Structures are given as C-alpha cells and as structure tokens.
C-alpha cells in the first residue's frame, strides 16, 4: 500500500463529507453501560510525539471543546486487533498464555519498529495522526500474526472489521456535530503535514481494552520486547 496516497484519499473524501455536515457522531462514547471489550496488540507513542499531539489537540479543542480528545495515556498505534471489541467479552473467555505464546513466535527475529509520525488525516467519524513505518517490519509482524492465528483454533477476529495496513493513531472522535466547522477544518489543514516526530518501538503491549482504549479500562497483559 502507498500509505501517503491512502491517507490523502481518506482525508479528501472525509473532508467532503464533513463540509456537507455528514460527519458521523459516536453515540456510545459517553455511555457508562458500554461493555464492549477486546484484546489488542499495540505500540505506545513516545513522549516527544505525545507532547506535539497535545499542542495539536489544544488548538482543536479551542474551536470544538465538546468533541472527544484522546488523553495522553490512551493514544496508541494498533499492531493488530486480536479480538475486536464486542459486548460481554471477558478474559475468562480465553486461555491467555496460548495467545502470548503465539505472539512471541511471531516476533522471532524481528527488529525494532521505526515509525515517522507526520501529518494528520481523518474519516467521517474521527481525526487521526499519520504514521509511516521506515521499513517492512510492521507488515511482516502483521502477516506473521495472520498466518499463526489462522492456523490456530483460538478465538480471534483479525482483519474482521478491515484489513489493517496503516500505522495511524486516532486522537479525536466526533461526539456531536461540529459547531465551528470552518475554524476546525482550517486547523486540520494547518497540521496536515506537521511533523510530530519519529519513534523506535522496542516493545509491544498486549492489552485487554474497551472500545476507546481508555486507560482506566485497559489492563496490560504482557509486554513483548523486540
């Protein structure tokens, strides 16, 4: 996949929708009874990148204070949704050690994952930070996971929602229709190619999480070194 082209297409198509007041709002984001949980393999962003994202989100929140802005500790890049969030999923449903063992095998001989975090894109429901891997390591890991879990009899839903090929981090979700649409879109354009920094991921986390990866609802299950 040409990531730059993909991100650009996504941005332009979503821009048309938002300009015509067709953004999708999340009606579950403030629902305290939302019990969608899953199992995710993810990469945490480093301090420098998070600090730059804070500046970006601070600007956006001045224009649209009522949207949902991901806090520092909730931001991440998804390596793979092992079990996509669904209502009622609990860790007791699975044998965790089997998942850990498979992921360890998939990481064999892989090096650290280097990613440049540059620019923003969006969908009709959220704003994302663009990630560009320096090499093919992330794709190799994802393909290893696909093969290994397909050959297992473990509960999983890899690529069930969509084929994961990007390295983005979602940082804003639309909680309600935009009230300062023009100002908000101008700010997105300002940060369209902003360089948030680069990172080298030497560890990957396996977590039990809710739909929004809220820190209070996320349990670290295992940290893998690479």
Domains, the chain, ordered by start: 3-225 (3.90.1140.10)
Assigned token pair, 204: 């990957």
Q: State pLDDT tens for residues 180-205.
A: 999 999 999 999 999 999 999 999 99
User: Binning pLDDT at 50, 70 and 90, where does residue 150 land?
Assistant: confident
Pairs from 11-20 (Cβ < 8 Å, separation ≥ 24): 11/120, 11/121, 11/122, 11/192, 14/121, 14/122, 14/123, 14/124, 15/122, 15/185, 17/124, 18/122, 18/124, 18/178, 18/181, 18/185, 19/181, 19/185
User: Binning pLDDT at 50, 70 and 90, where does residue 209 land?
Assistant: very high
The model's pTM: 0.93
Provide CB contacts within 8 A for 51, sequence distance 6+: none
pLDDT at res. 156: 85
């Amino acid at each position: 996949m040409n990531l730059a082209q993909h991100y650009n297409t996504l941005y332009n198509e979503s821009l048309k929708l938002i300009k015509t007041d067709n953004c999708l709002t999340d009606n579950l984001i403030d629902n305290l009874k939302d019990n969608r949980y899953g199992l995710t393999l993810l990469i945490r962003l480093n301090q420098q990148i998070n600090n730059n994202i804070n500046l970006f989100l601070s600007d956006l929140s001045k224009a649209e204070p009522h949207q949902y802005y991901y806090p520092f500790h909730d931001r991440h890049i998804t390596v793979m949704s092992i079990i996509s969030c669904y209502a009622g999923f609990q860790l007791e449903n699975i044998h965790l050690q089997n998942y850990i063992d498979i992921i360890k095998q998939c990481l064999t001989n892989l090096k650290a994952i280097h990613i440049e975090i540059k620019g923003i894109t969006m969908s009709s429901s959220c704003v994302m930070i663009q990630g560009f891997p320096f090499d093919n390591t992330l794709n190799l890991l994802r393909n290893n996971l696909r093969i290994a879990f397909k050959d297992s009899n473990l509960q999983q839903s890899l690529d069930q929602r969509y084929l994961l090929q990007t390295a983005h981090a979602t940082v804003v979700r639309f909680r309600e229709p935009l009230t300062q649409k023009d100002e908000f879109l101008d700010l997105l354009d300002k940060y369209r190619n902003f360089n948030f920094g680069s990172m080298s991921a030497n560890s990957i986390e396996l977590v039990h999480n809710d739909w929004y990866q809220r820190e209070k609802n996320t349990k670290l299950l295992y940290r893998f070194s690479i």
